[in-house]
């Protein structure tokens, strides 16, 4: 029996995955190399500093910690310039509706995101009240695929992980959900998310019946 749904943010609730991509691509260009959409799959769900490490590995570049911090800050400034302009229609189709349906059915809801910008986005798009609990990059020390973010969410909701379903668009996120002992719905490409229990294009394809049928 499903008692809680835990949602990743970027690429599941809001259409921000492309802003992360644009911001990383710009940084790569400034550093003198190209960064493709395929490369970007490796960054989804991964914390800011870990993402920068992957980016630098792709570019074959070594840097001091101080330089890395400067670049991570620069990428974030660019990203924040996008999210502070976001409009209500950038909430992904069906997300608001499915969150409401869960709450009406007494299924608890939590956000489980690696992003330190999560609250900025939720507040701007007036989504904050749809979550019973928010766990984001300011509360976690271990990045997905570590299950920390989802285990903290389940603990705060007081729900056993076995009764939780995670919604994720990233391979690292699916792995984190499974490592937490939870069910997982993958959102996006089946090639990337094949370990998930169910794969859909977006929350507009989700309903409570499908939720309870997840094996
Ligand atoms: C999410 C995104 C990642 C991003 C991470 C950290 O998990 O999928 O692409 O790097 O959050 O986001 P932040 O907003 O803290 O840089
Ligand atoms: Mg995501």
> pLDDT digits over 114-123, tens only?
999 999 999 9
Q: Indicate which residue of 10, 39, 136, 169 is catalytic.
A: 10
Q: Which pLDDT does position 45 carry in this prediction? A: 86
Instruction: Specify whether 132 is catalytic.
Output: no
At residue 129, does pLDDT exceed 90? yes
Q: Which pLDDT does position 95 carry in this prediction? A: 98
Ligand number, closest to the Cα atom of 187: 2
Structure tokens at 123: 């507040």
144 lines ligand 1 (CB under 6 A): no
Residue 7 · residue 154 · CB < 8 Å: no
Q: What average pLDDT score do residues 13-31 get?
A: 95
172 lines ligand 1 (CB under 6 A): no
Collect residues with CB below 5 Å from ion ligand 2: 8, 10-11, 169-170
Q: Which pLDDT does position 215 carry in this prediction? A: 79
Mean pLDDT of the chain: 96
Distance, in Å, from the CA atom of 178 to the CA atom of 147, rounded to the nearest integer, reads 8
pLDDT tens readout for residues 160-200: 999 999 999 999 999 999 999 999 999 999 988 999 999 99
pLDDT tens readout for residues 69-90: 999 999 999 999 999 999 999 9
Ligand 1 center to 5 CA (angstroms): 20
Q: What average pLDDT score do residues 43-58 get?
A: 93
Q: Which one of 12, 51, 111 would you pick to mutate in the ligand 1 pocket, going by the greatest count of ligand atoms within 8 A of its CB?
A: 51
Residue 174 · residue 201 · CB < 8 Å: no
Q: What average pLDDT score do residues 94-119 get?
A: 97
Ligand 2 center to 51 CA (angstroms): 13
Q: Which pLDDT does position 135 carry in this prediction? A: 98
Q: Which pLDDT does position 143 carry in this prediction? A: 87
Name the β-bridge partners of 200: 187
Geometric angle at alpha carbon 22, from 20 and 23, rounded to 5°: 65
Q: Which pLDDT does position 151 carry in this prediction? A: 98
Instruction: Specify whether 8 is catalytic.
Output: yes
Q: Which pLDDT does position 152 carry in this prediction? A: 98
């Amino acid at each position: 029996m499903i008692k809680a749904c835990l949602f990743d943010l970027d690429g599941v609730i809001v259409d921000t995955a492309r802003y992360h991509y644009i911001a990383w691509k710009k940084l790569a260009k400034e550093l003198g190399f190209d960064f493709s959409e395929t490369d970007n799959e490796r960054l989804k769900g991964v914390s800011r500093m870990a993402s920068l490490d992957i980016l630098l590995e792709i570019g074959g570049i070594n840097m001091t910690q101080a330089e890395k911090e400067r670049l991570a800050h620069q990428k974030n400034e660019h990203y924040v310039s996008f999210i502070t302009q976001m409009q209500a229609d950038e909430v992904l189709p069906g997300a608001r509706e499915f969150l409401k349906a869960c709450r009406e059915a007494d299924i608890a809801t939590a956000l489980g995101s690696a992003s330190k910008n999560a609250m900025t986005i939720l507040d701007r798009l007036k989504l904050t009240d749809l979550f019973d609990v928010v766990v984001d990059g300011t509360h976690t020390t271990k990045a997905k695929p570590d299950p920390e973010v989802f285990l903290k969410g389940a603990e705060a909701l007081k729900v056993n992980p076995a009764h939780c379903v995670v919604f994720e668009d990233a391979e690292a996120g699916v792995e984190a959900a499974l490592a937490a002992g939870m069910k997982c719905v993958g959102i996006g490409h089946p090639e990337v998310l094949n370990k998930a229990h169910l794969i859909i294009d977006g929350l507009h394809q989700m309903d409570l019946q499908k939720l309870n049928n997840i094996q």
